[in-house]
Structures are given as structure tokens and as C-alpha cells.
């Protein structure tokens, strides 16, 4: 992996941006899109929209900028912080974790705690501790001292971490969906400037709390076709049956067939056939994904206006929606190749 690529993907993953607070990641996306697009705007909802090429046909690529996290709900008299979850996070992953509370005055570090197991009764030990039974310790003397540092409504994030487990395996916070953001930027960079279509690259907001940014940006653009770029659940770890997920790191990006047992996107046959045909033609490894739970921006894009034929290309990741996720960089690079080839060869393979 080249140094500049490593630097960009690390920068994206480390950027702050829980749902509704995407300012830092948005600025990075805007700056990068300006390098490759004809024009770039930020809409009233905070989505970053880059456009490239000219023509009657419009294709929208979407990757969400937001990450899951927490938010300050209440500060106790003793100076401890109660919080709510922003996005889907397993409560079992939170206890004992270091967090960063983002305040206008600066970052405040804290540790998520709860009642010590040594003091818990038998029935308490046997149950999962819920997030509303936890608190964040920021070292404050009392409520007055805590309020000098933080405020109700402050976003709370996991620490900025990024590194390598092996040659091709990387770990980071916010892999969902900063990996998709990276793919989006590289695809927009590699698409020829003289392409006879309008290609829109969109960094969407608030995907983790209702696919909201994709809804308004797709309505604005009104594309003929859409692609969502996201992460998906890898099944190559202990305790996951192959019948639950057969996706493996390093075996290629996943082409979604359906999400959330059909409640999410059901990939349009035109798009599915295009992606699989291109993958086979150019010998790009790929996997097929059928999800029982979870949705992407594709679920909203394809319901916009009169309906937009939409597909999803995802990178299998381990431990998404947790403080650290793991992915294979080969899958990322192959997702870029697949989408670039699919767009360049779009008109030759889909009857418009």
C-alpha cells in the first residue's frame, strides 16, 4: 500500500463525525473531492456532493460520513456523565472503554464505568449491563466542575486509532463507513474527466440514525442509477456460522443482493448483473451478500421519487459498530476497481 493512500485512509478513519456532527470529516471529503470533481457543494443537510462529467445520464455514488458514538445526556451532582447511544452499538462493548467528549473548549477524556462486579449480587452479575446503567468518569469533583469542561449534548467518540495487524489487515475506529468514503474519493479520482455522464459522489450524513442524508441528496440529484458504498459483516471469526455470514476478509468486495431480509435494498437486476459481469470480465474477486439485518444508503436511494435502480458494494469488516473494526486493504482496492470499471463500461452493459 502506497504511503499517500495509507495517509488518506488513516486521516478519514481518525476524523471525528458521529451522526449530526460530521464537520471534521466533511471538510476532508470536500477538500479531496475538489481535486477530482468539476464542482463540489455542501447542501443544507450537510451532505458533500461532488459532480464530474457531462451528459444526460446521472449516476449517484454514496458513502456515509457519520460514525456511531454516544452523546452526553445528563451530568450528576457527583460529576459523572450519563449518555445515550447515537447509532447501533452493543452495550457489552462499552464498559471500561476510553472515550473522548468533544466540547467547544476542547477534548475531554473519560472512562465508561459501572458498579464493580465485586459489589454486584448474583442476578446482577448474570445479566448484560445496559448503557443507561453505565456512566462516564471524567475525573470531575462535582457537577459544577464537570460543567466547566463539558455540556449536555456534547458528542462522544471512541479514541482515534489506526494500525496494522498484518501485511493486508488493518484496524481502526469508524471503518463503517470511512472505508466507503475512501473508496468513493478514489473512484471519483479515477473516472475520466471527459466521461459522457454526470457522476455524483456524495458523502452523506446521518446514515447511522435513519439514512437521512441519502434521502435528501438523492431527491436533490434525482439520479437515473445509484450505488451505495459501505461495509458489511465478515463471517470469518469464531462463533459466526457460515450460514449466518460466509463473507471473508481478502476474498473481494461484497455485491449485495438484499438487505434486512428485503426490508432494505433489493438490488436491481440490471445493477447486480452489471457488477457481476464486470467482476468476471476483469477478474476482480467478489462475494455475494444477503443480509438479514442492517441497511445502507441504498435502501433510501432506490425509493426516491419514482424509484432509482440501485446497488450496493460493501467491504467485509470484522467488529463494525464497535470501538475498532478490522478490514483487508485488498478488498478496498478491489472495490475501487469494480466500481470504476462498472461506471466506465456502464452504457455498454446496461440498456438505457
Active site residues: 207
CA distance 50 to 67: 21
State the pairing for strand pair 287-290/81-86.
Answer: unpaired
- Helix, strand or coil for residue 136? strand
Name every residue whose Cβ is closer than 8 Å to that of residue 160 and which is 6 or more positions away in sequence.
14, 100, 173
Name every residue whose Cβ is closer than 8 Å to that of residue 122 and which is 6 or more positions away in sequence.
none
E-strand ranges in the chain read 39-42, 48-52, 58-64, 69-75, 81-86, 98-103, 106-113, 135-137, 155-157, 162-164, 169-172, 198-204, 225-233, 254-258, 287-290, 310-317, 325-328
The Cα-based distances of 180 to 75, 185, 345, 348 in angstroms read: 35, 9, 21, 26
What single-letter DSSP state applies at residue 262? G
Amino acid at each position: 500500500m502506497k504511503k499517500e493512500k495509507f495517509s488518506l485512509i488513516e486521516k478519514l478513519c481518525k476524523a471525528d463525525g458521529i451522526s449530526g456532527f460530521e464537520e471534521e470529516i466533511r471538510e476532508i471529503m470536500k477538500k479531496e473531492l475538489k481535486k477530482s470533481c468539476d464542482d463540489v457543494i455542501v447542501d443544507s443537510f450537510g451532505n458533500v456532493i461532488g459532480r464530474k462529467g457531462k451528459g444526460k445520464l446521472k449516476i449517484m455514488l454514496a458513502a456515509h460520513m457519520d460514525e456511531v458514538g454516544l452523546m452526553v445526556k445528563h451530568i450528576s451532582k457527583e460529576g459523572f456523565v450519563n449518555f445515550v447511544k447515537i447509532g447501533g452499538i452493543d452495550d457489552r462493548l462499552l464498559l471500561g472503554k476510553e472515550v473522548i467528549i468533544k466540547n467547544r473548549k476542547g477534548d475531554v477524556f473519560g472512562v465508561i464505568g459501572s458498579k464493580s462486579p465485586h459489589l454486584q449480587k448474583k442476578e446482577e452479575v448474570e445479566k448484560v449491563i445496559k448503557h443507561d446503567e453505565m456512566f462516564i468518569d471524567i475525573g470531575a469533583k462535582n457537577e459544577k466542575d464537570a460543567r466547566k469542561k463539558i455540556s449536555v449534548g456534547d458528542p462522544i467518540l471512541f479514541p482515534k486509532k489506526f494500525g496494522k495487524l498484518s501485511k493486508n489487515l488493518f484496524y481502526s475506529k469508524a471503518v463503517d463507513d470511512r472505508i466507503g468514503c475512501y473508496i468513493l474519493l478514489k473512484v471519483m479520482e479515477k473516472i475520466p474527466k471527459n466521461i459522457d455522464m454526470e457522476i455524483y459522489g456524495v458523502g452523506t450524513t446521518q446514515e447511522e440514525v435513519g439514512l437521512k442524508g441519502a434521502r435528501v441528496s438523492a431527491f436533490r440529484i434525482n439520479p437515473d442509477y445509484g450505488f451505495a458504498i459501505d461495509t458489511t459483516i465478515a463471517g470469518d471469526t469464531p462463533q459466526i456460522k457460515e450460514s449466518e455470514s460466509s463473507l471473508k476478509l481478502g476474498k473481494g468486495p461484497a455485491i449485495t443482493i438484499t438487505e434486512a431480509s428485503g426490508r432494505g435494498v433489493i438490488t436491481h437486476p440490471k445493477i447486480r448483473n452489471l457488477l457481476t459481469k464486470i467482476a468476471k470480465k476483469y477478474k476482480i474477486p467478489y462475494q455475494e451478500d444477503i443480509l438479514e439485518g442492517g441497511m445502507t444508503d441504498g435502501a433510501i436511494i432506490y425509493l426516491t421519487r419514482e424509484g432509482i435502480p440501485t446497488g450496493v458494494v460493501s467491504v467485509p469488516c470484522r467488529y463494525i459498530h464497535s470501538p475498532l473494526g478490522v478490514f483487508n486493504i485488498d478488498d478496498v482496492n478491489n472495490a475501487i476497481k469494480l466500481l470504476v470499471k462498472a461506471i466506465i463500461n456502464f452504457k455498454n452493459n446496461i440498456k438505457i
